Structure 1
């Protein structure tokens, strides 16, 4: 079975490819090339069915998605006849939000006969199970994680984001379309009067998949940069749903957390 990695921007596609036994066929949407990974085929949404045909011609039978993309501006002049026929279908799902759009993307690939798999299936080492990876936990940290988990679940059910920051039970920020880095920068810029005293608990970043999302695509991702940003935001650690979050370069994450005095916790759902 030949695997194609439908890659987006960032370091995740290369990390995923490095954890596979054989190099995958790499395809990327124009304008969203991955870091450190050669692309075999670039494609545009306006020519989706020629892209499917190219994958078939390359012997691809299975696909996995990794990396960041934004909704592209579509050029009506570039549509091929087959792709033009599904424009109303695409527009309908785009209007319903990210989860609906991603489910539709999976459906289109499956209708073309491709098996769609997720990162947790093909590279399970990137998705840690339950356990404390660095540092130590206090009862306050555990309570903040429980509170953050409830908030993240509520946000996910309305397709808003996949994370939040909680300190001493107070939600300092929630993730929106701007992403985790923007959320942590917002926390770092909060006036002291809006934050509870750090002596009683610095708080944490929490990440989890949305409750209704298809976990074969768009799992939350953490990496060494996340640790650095959490430290800069004055937090005490990072917690996430065990088995539901991709962790890039875990040794570097652990080293950065130890140096900054942060905990890393894959929390049982």
Structure 2
């Protein structure tokens, strides 16, 4: 568990979040997982309809010697289905699990577990797992967000992963509340390079927020170098923040080119996130 060991050693941890291919294509999956070379300690595998499942992709990565973080999605799934997946994950040696509702369409079945219940099920089936939950720091009611989060931490989640961070202020209040309610919880901040106005608009629509005016104005210039400077500056803030234990890097593209990986690595080094 390189990711957890990095955190336990008091070092800043780095994960890469990837989209699996539409079907089992090992070369494509490994290419995406190796975008940042050996810098990440874990590879988060997104669960999306019409694609190789996060679990199958995670097992394939584990067999290739790459540490995965399986995204266990509960929306539209029965308790029996989740129990079956947990057993398969345990057998395969998967030991990092991010329990999430999922952003695809679907309704809960009559016996569909809540996220809190899925976390407890994961803890029971894979006792040594490093289990995470998600935090939307852009929620309109911060108190409701914390009330929803705390039971998940009490059920066995020991880290949270945020939505993409573009300014630290949106996260600070939540960090204070989390430290008060569950002080051992690690906060992993998602970070994403945005390189165009179109990308910014799509992220705003997805998150239901307005990005900082300074970032929007910068992207409006169309200056690629300035956009990467903004990403590096965000990483520097995250590395310096005492309440952030690591980052999960997500690219805007589903299959980012090597050049994007190189720019991300340069930004991580400049920010002090990696050597």
What is the TM-score of this pair, normalised by structure 1?
A: 0.35
Higher share in helix? 2
Return the index of the structure with the highest Cα Rg: 1
